[in-house]
Amino acid sequence: MNPEQVQLRDIHPPLLLPEAPDYTMLIAGVLVFLLLLGAALWFFRFKKKKVILPSACETALASLQSARSLMNVEQAQQYAVEVSTILRSYIEQRFCIRTSRQTTKEFFANLMVSPTQTTELFGTHTKRLHECLDQCDLAKFARCSPDQNSMGKMETAVQNFIVATREPAKGGK
C-alpha cells in the first residue's frame, strides 16, 4: 500500500437527530378530523326528507277518480272489476282486514261474526256495499255488464263509504 492510500480522513460532524414530534398536536388534529367526519355523517343520516305517504282514503279516492274513465257501457265489466279492487284494497289498508282472498259472502259473514269497531263503521254502509260488491262479482264472474245507472250507484256507494270511514286527521288538523 502506498502512503497516499493510507492517509486518514477526518470523521464527519455528528448528525443532529430530529426533535421528538409534538404528539399533542397530532392527537388534536385526528380528534378534529373525527369530529368533523362524525358531524357530516350525522347530518347526512338525519337530513333525509321525510316522505309523507298518502292515506288509504286519498289513495282510494284518487284510484276511484281515475277509474271513472272506464265508466261507459263498453268497459262496464272492467270498471266493475276496478271498483271492486279499489274497495277491497281500501278495506285492507284502512281496517287491516284481509278481503282479497275472500268471496263477498265470506267477507260479510266474517264481519258479522266478529263484532269489532269495524263492524260499527260498516254498519250504516253494509247493505249498499253488499249490493255494490254483488254487482262487481256479477260483472267479474258472470260477465253481466252493469248499466250506466248501476255504475253510478256503485261509485257513489264506494265513495260515500271511503269518505265516511276515513282515518281521523293527525295533529289536530
The answer to whether residue 88 sits within a structural domain is: yes
> What is the per-residue pLDDT across 115-167, written as a single tens digit (0 to 9) for each?
555 556 666 777 777 778 888 888 888 878 888 888 888 888 888 888 888 77
The answer to whether residue 91 sits within a structural domain is: yes
> What is the per-residue pLDDT across 71-124, written as a single tens digit (0 to 9) for each?
888 888 888 888 888 888 888 888 777 777 778 788 777 776 665 555 566 667
The answer to whether residue 109 sits within a structural domain is: yes
The answer to whether residue 84 sits within a structural domain is: yes
Which residue from 108, 79, 78 is spatially nearest to 91, judged by alpha carbons?
108
Number of independent structural domains in the chain: 1
Three-state secondary-structure class, residue 51:
coil
Three-state secondary-structure class, residue 114:
coil
pLDDT at 14 (0 to 100): 82
pLDDT at 28 (0 to 100): 93
Which residue from 50, 82, 54, 85 is spatially nearest to 167, judged by alpha carbons?
54
The answer to whether residue 122 sits within a structural domain is: yes
Confidence band of 173 (pLDDT split at 50, 70, 90):
very low
pLDDT at 147 (0 to 100): 83
Q: Where in the sequence is the domain holding 87, given as residue range(s)? A: 56-167
Residue 150: partners with Cβ closer than 8 Å, 6 or more residues away: 135
Residue 122: partners with Cβ closer than 8 Å, 6 or more residues away: 111, 129, 165
Mean per-residue pLDDT, 4-14: 76
The answer to whether residue 9 sits within a structural domain is: no
CB 89 within 8 A of CB 60: yes
How far is the C-alpha of 165 from the C-alpha of 122, rounded, in Å? 8
The answer to whether residue 172 sits within a structural domain is: no
The answer to whether residue 142 sits within a structural domain is: yes
pLDDT at 1 (0 to 100): 62
Residue 26: pLDDT over 80: yes
pLDDT at 172 (0 to 100): 46
What's the Cα-to-Cα distance from 43 to each of 26, 30, 36, 48, 65, rounded to whole Å? 26, 20, 10, 9, 41
